[in-house]
């Protein structure tokens, strides 16, 4: 069996196909999925998925790319984290990618609001004891530094969590592991140009590995460019199995176990 540790089933292109997607998941042996929240406005839809289906869970958080929508406070995040079936805080983190274009020519110094928002998530996670779901893009130094400043060092009492949809270097993977975090790989791992990333996937200890789709984005080869769904997560597992000389079922089992260790209450 397989777990999709990060998907966006509340997005309209997936939500509208839910019965079909659930059938495909069952056929593919994908027995659980974590539905990820990216805005406070979206939370109720994400949460409704978790409440509507035994094998779905939800997170609470605001993506670093979300702008001009409600800003999360620690108190608000804690309130949402206390709702049933909310098992993680995020996705949160930092995204400095394409400051010239996407960020309207702002500088890293102008992104203090992202760093403040990230700190609010870390503080909430540490208070409620639920793990962080981290998105980091072109911002790994600050992501690691802020986690450390907020006390995340892998010690008992730390929130911990996962660096999701990992696309960073070996050095960043080491830093994340040193802080006690898990590392999650998406369909990007199957892309032709991802040779360096495949080295990282070979290196991450077996007890810290997770798999995900980040659907509807990033469909794995041979579906690249199509709408992704949790039913395709075994293709990520297959790539890892190939890299590590394991059977695909073994990767499904070990990543399912890791999912249960990291997120409490997600036992099938």
Query: Which residue's CB is nearer to Ni ion, number 168 or number 248?
Result: 168
What are the φ and ψ backbone dihedral angles of 135, each rounded to 5 degrees? Answer: -110, 125
214-253 footprint of Ni ion as x/- string (CB under 5 A): x---------------------------------------
Q: Are 259 and 5 in contact (CB under 8 A)?
A: yes
CB 115 to Ni ion: min, Å? 19
Residue 4 and residue 247: Cα distance in Å, rounded? 18
Residue 237 CB, nearest distance to Ni ion (Å)? 18
| Nearer CB in complex with Ni ion: 167/248 | 167
Maximum CA extent, the chain: 48
Of 186 and 258, nearer to Ni ion (C-beta) is 186
Instruction: Report the length, in residues, of the chain.
Output: 268
Q: Give the Cα separation of 26 and 262 in Å (integer).
A: 23
Shortest reach from residue 214's CB to Ni ion, in Å = 5
Q: Which is nearer to Ni ion, 150 or 214 (CB)?
A: 214
Quick one: 245 exposed, middle or buried, by C-beta within 10 A (0-12, 13-18, 19+)?
Answer: exposed
The residues facing 185 across adjacent strands are 211
Shortest spacing between CB 128 and Ni ion, in angstroms: 21
Residue number with CB closer to Ni ion (4 or 214)? 214
Question: With contacts defined by CB under 5 A, how many residues of the chain interact with Ni ion?
Answer: 1
Q: How far apart are CA 102 and CA 111, in angstroms?
A: 13
Please list every residue from 180 through 219 that binds Ni ion, using CB under 5 A: 214
To the nearest whole angstrom, how small is the minimum distance from the Cβ of residue 7 to Ni ion?
8
| Shortest separation between residue 6's beta carbon and Ni ion, angstroms | 6
Pick out residues in 117-136 that bind Ni ion (CB under 5 A): none
Cα–Cα–Cα angle for 149, 139, 113, nearest 5°? 70
- Considering beta carbons, is residue 4 or 152 the nearer one to Ni ion? 4
> Which alpha helices (H) appear in the chain, and where do they start and end?
12-15, 18-28, 43-52, 74-81, 112-128, 140-149, 170-178, 195-203, 233-244, 248-262
Residue 46 C-beta: closest distance to Ni ion, Å: 11
Q: Which is nearer to Ni ion, 213 or 255 (CB)?
A: 213
Q: CB within 8 A of 29, min separation 6: which ones?
A: 1, 2, 234, 252
Write out the residues near Ni ion by the rule CB under 5 A: 214
């Amino acid at each position: 069996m397989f777990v999709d540790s990060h998907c966006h089933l509340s997005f309209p292109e997936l939500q509208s196909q839910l019965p079909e997607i659930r059938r495909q998941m069952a056929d593919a042996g994908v027995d659980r999925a974590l539905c990820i929240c990216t805005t406070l406005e979206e939370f109720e839809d994400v949460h409704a998925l978790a409440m509507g289906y035994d094998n779905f869970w939800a997170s609470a958080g605001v993506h670093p790319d979300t702008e001009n929508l409600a800003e999360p406070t620690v108190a608000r995040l804690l309130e949402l984290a206390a709702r049933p079936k909310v098992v993680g805080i995020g996705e949160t983190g930092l995204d400095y990618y394409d400051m010239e274009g996407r960020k309207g020519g702002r500088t890293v110094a102008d992104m203090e609001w992202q760093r403040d928002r990230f700190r609010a998530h870390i503080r909430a996670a540490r208070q409620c004891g639920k793990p962080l779901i981290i998105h980091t893009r072109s911002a790994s130094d600050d992501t690691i530094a802020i986690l450390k400043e907020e006390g995340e060092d892998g010690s008992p009492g730390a929130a911990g969590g996962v660096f999701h949809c990992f696309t960073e270097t070996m050095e960043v993977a080491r830093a994340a592991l040193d802080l006690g975090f898990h590392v999650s790989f998406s369909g990007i791992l199957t892309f032709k140009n991802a040779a360096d990333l495949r080295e990282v996937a070979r290196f991450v200890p077996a007890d810290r590995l997770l798999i995900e789709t980040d659907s509807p984005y990033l469909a794995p080869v041979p579906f690249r460019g199509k709408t992704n769904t949790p039913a395709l997560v075994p293709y990520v597992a297959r790539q890892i199995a190939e890299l590590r000389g394991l059977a695909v079922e073994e990767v499904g089992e070990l990543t399912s176990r890791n999912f249960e260790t990291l997120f409490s209450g997600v036992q099938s």
